[in-house]
Structure formats: C-alpha cells, structure tokens
Amino acid sequence: MTPDPAIPALDGVLETVLYYPETLEAQVDRFYRTVLGMRPIGRKSGQFLFFRAGRSVFLLFEVDRARAQDSPPPHGARGPGHTCFQVPGDAYADWKTHLATHDVEVEEEMRWPGGGRSFYFRDPAGNALEIADRDIWPD
C-alpha cells in the first residue's frame, strides 16, 4: 500500500513502555541492566526506570503512579505487556545461551512464514519479551 501523501511521515518508534508493580522495582531494574545489558539513562524510585536499547529508549513505569499522574497524560496497563527486540542474526543463539545462564526460561520459539526466528521469555514483572533475529514483519 502506498502511503497517503497527505499524512505526515513517521520516522519510527522512539520509545516503548512497559509497566511494573512497585514491589518488583529492584528486580526489574537489575534484570534490564544485568541480564539484558541496557544502559540506564534515568530513574526515579517508585516511579520509573529509563534505559537505552540500541538507538531506542525503553521505559518502565510503576503502573499505579503512571495511571494517576497529571503530566504527562496518565497511562498504564494491567497484566503483562509485550516488546520484541531485534538482534543481529549471528547473536540469536548467543542470546538464548546468555538468558539460560541467568535462569531465564525461553517459553516458546517461532519460525515465521516470511523468514526469521524469534523466542519469548518474561521479565520479573511478567511482561512477555521477545528476541527476533531479523525484521519478521512483511512490508
């Protein structure tokens, strides 16, 4: 489908947000820093954890505070969210091995019709995370 020239262009997704309960903040912070190797770029205890994930920003908000805030506009979700991280194809197997060394269980692995593989696992807050070895979405 050809983009409608009357609609301004989007350049990509700058940030992604998942949520955690306050009681799991320390475990969530440690998981994203030490297991996934993300670089922390901001933190306010009881409110949020911000990380760099490649060129993107990965945000984690304490769900009750995010739903009650005035600014920026309130947001939040109940239950597990989902994010997929893309890795170089030659790092795919290394990620499975790395996660196993941290006792992170791979729940399911997929082979996608257009090519590519991905696998699913969870963070300490129960969010479903996925690692894909390429862009698995058709144009």
Contacts (Cβ under 8 Å, ≥6 apart) of 83: 16, 18, 58, 127, 128, 129, 130
Q: Where in the sequence is the domain holding 21, given as residue range(s)?
A: 15-132
User: Are the C-beta atoms of residues 47 and 64 closer than 8 Å to each other?
Assistant: no
The reply to whether 102 falls in a domain is: yes
The reply to whether 1 falls in a domain is: no
pLDDT digits over 46-93, tens only?
999 999 999 999 999 999 999 999 998 999 988 899 999 999 999 999
Q: What is the CATH number of the domain that holds 76?
A: 3.10.180.10
Residue 3: predicted pLDDT:
77
Total domains present in the chain:
1
pLDDT digits over 27-47, tens only?
999 999 999 999 999 999 999
- What φ, ψ does residue 111 adopt, rounded to 5°? -115, 125
Cis omega (within 30 of 0) for bond into 72: yes
The reply to whether 58 falls in a domain is: yes
The reply to whether 10 falls in a domain is: no
Residue 81: predicted pLDDT:
96
The reply to whether 92 falls in a domain is: yes
pTM, two decimals, is 0.92
